[in-house]
Chains A and B, each alone.
Chain A
């Protein structure tokens, strides 16, 4: 048995857990661990420029692969800088393990230099956390941390490591456990057969069915089964912002995204359906609209989720099914197979005709600018979709550009759309795109961003240079905090309180060049396709494309506050 120090055990345990890349930033409390990293070549460490970016990069890695993202930061400010990224992962149920340094055990509680109670500070935004008290506990703690982070409803786990625990002078026998069992942590697996039977019966009787699938389907690797089930039933389906790609967007049964900025047909079908099958979705307020009592008034609601606490949290459901998406979908399919009954085809035809009429509204129609010069932000996303043939990994930041990306880049595959849906973290896009590029070196990693969000983590341009990441940053530059401005237009009489800064924007092309990248500016619609093509043709380079778009554009459709899902603003002049 090898004799290893705490720091060495930590890195060896990561390797034994199958981790080959971690994102981090060194500092005093983790220097022993960094020395252990220096002395091996199994686990690659990526040096970011800010700890928040380390968490987002690990997050992008996790979302695009399904494997846990791993972060290493120092104590105090290193740990607190990681907090936003941990909260982002927590809200979207992303598997992540964050190792934070801590001051020496004897100093804990003494307000030592760079001391923060990381376990305390992170408590509300982690699935679980550990404080390592003895070096010999490290292998088991790492095993437990990965087990908890990746099973059930995934989430971030923090391991806080006091410096003395990693002292290279103290060696201990190292053995990594094969399995771990915790009496206080059980993972729900198969859904209850009786409940699934009830759900299948409801689906077979449905006259106006609707499937509403969320991020849980992607996290639970259930996309293929969901697609099989949906096609077998012939039912309409919508995906949440987090669920985009769970069902192919180009399929005729797909009605688009639902919710606050969902399509007219998806939201109408939700409102008028009589049986709603919710899978891996949590009835978020951005989906249901603000008045829960008006949500799906006629529907029998079937809810599949791995987290019992998600069930009947906001909307009371009729048939709850707790279990992994894959196990439940498999059993649903086998029960459907063996059922003698078929779906109510005549009613379904009437329902599809109704949906067809809603589709004619063409709620995502782009009205080009009359001057023939100004670029609409939606046109940019469409052009990126065409040039990348819909096959890129697309990360986004938060705001109007995020919604345009979600609406106009039709994702046909899971794990391609990487965005901060729950927490809504500006500054997520670029570091997440880095994580994606590390995980998929040969794929096209696009970051659709805005000039507001981008400035929240632009220091990562340096990381992209250091590791030669050929990310394509597409900045929908509207010279304002677009979504804030949109709300101020709609609800605050156009009083733009602190949402504009046109006079103080940097020249982004020069900024990109200063970091050694390529910058391209586009401000005429006639140049849009050719210049974007030029950018994507530079396969080995990070290209920052600064696209000046119509600053007055709003995101539509938009839910009317206090209404039901059928209440939408469709354009500056039209509402339902």
Chain B
């Protein structure tokens, strides 16, 4: 099963490599990874998606917790949560296709953020499968470039991941 794990860690050099190293060292998968400082500059929040059975996920969270730079973590998929990913996608847009792409973008609530006579650059936010669907709807033949941020997430309600 797919899991989204959010990790608060010391915003120090080497911390990220310890987390990423753990995954390759112990043969765990990372499907996506996003990391940035939080409102407290001494802390970074790292969110990763991985998959595996319950035992594997338990081992992953235990080993993450063992890393000295890791302060706290939560498996967001254990409860109700909000997850988002941002995608910037550049597509070929000429002739009659331009209107069609604009309509598709509107349906997915994306925005065209840049354009030339031949190309649209579109921004789209949502769950990862929505982003996948958008690419599928456009069709491979016109997609020129895709830049995705990886999943970020937060718990619903009053639950908070902080110190």
Seen from chain A, the residues whose Cβ lies within 8 Å of a Cβ on chain B are: 119-120, 123-124, 127-129, 131, 148, 182-185, 307-309, 312-313, 316
Contact = CB atoms under 8 A, between A and B. Distances in A.
A316 B55 contact: yes
A127 B69 CA distance: 11
A184 B9 contact: yes
Nearest to B8: A184
A309 B14 contact: no
A308 B60 CA distance: 12
Nearest to A120: B17
Contact of B69 (A120, A184, A313): A184
A96 to B, nearest CB: 15
Contact of A183 (B14, B65, B163): B163
B25 A124 contact: yes
B62 interface: yes
Contacts of B102: none
Nearest to B72: A184
A148 B68 contact: yes
Nearest to A310: B62
A183 to B, nearest CB: 6
Interface string B15-28: 00110010001000
Contacts of A128: 68
Given A120-B17, A123-B21, A184 B71 contact: yes
User: Which 5 A/B pairs are nearest by Cβ-Cβ distance?
Assistant: A309-B62, A128-B68, A184-B71, A124-B25, A185-B68
Given A119-B14, A308-B65, A309-B63, A124 B71 contact: no
A316 B58 CA distance: 12
Most buried by B among A124, A129, A309: A309
A121 to B, nearest CB: 11
Given A127-B68, A309-B63, 18 more contacts: A120-B17, A123-B14, A123-B17, A123-B21, A124-B21, A129-B14, A131-B13, A182-B68, A183-B71, A184-B10, A184-B71, A185-B68, A307-B66, A308-B65, A308-B66, A309-B59, A312-B55, A312-B58
A128 B22 CA distance: 13
B14 A131 contact: yes
A308 B65 CA distance: 9
Contacts of A182: 68
B74 to A, nearest CB: 15
B151 interface: no
A312 B18 CA distance: 23
Contacts of A148: 68
Contact of B68 (A119, A184, A309, A313): A184
A172 B25 CA distance: 40
A105 to B, nearest CB: 12
Contacts, number: 37
22 contacts: A120-B17, A123-B14, A123-B21, A124-B21, A128-B68, A129-B14, A148-B68, A182-B68, A183-B71, A183-B163, A184-B10, A184-B68, A184-B70, A184-B71, A185-B68, A309-B59, A309-B62, A309-B63, A309-B65, A309-B66, A312-B55, A313-B59
Interface in B115-142: none
A182 B63 CA distance: 18
A123 B18 contact: yes
A57 B153 CA distance: 48
A156 to B, nearest CB: 13
Contacts of A316: 55
Nearest to B14: A119
Nearest to A183: B71
A103 to B, nearest CB: 16
Contacts of B55: 312, 316
Contacts of B25: 124
Contacts of B17: 120, 123
A312 B63 CA distance: 13
Interface string B26-61: 000000000000000000000000000001001100
Nearest to B70: A184
Contacts of A185: 68
Contacts of A184: 9-10, 68-71
A183 B10 CA distance: 9
Contacts of B18: 123
Nearest to A308: B62
A555 B13 CA distance: 48
A119 B68 CA distance: 14
Nearest to A182: B68
Nearest to B24: A124
Nearest to B68: A128
A308 B59 CA distance: 9
Among A131, A184, A309: residue with most chain B CB under 10 A:
A184
Contacts of B14: 119, 123, 129, 131
B11 to A, nearest CB: 11
Nearest to A307: B66
Nearest to A152: B66
Nearest to B9: A184
B1 to A, nearest CB: 18
A58 B62 CA distance: 29
A307 B59 CA distance: 12
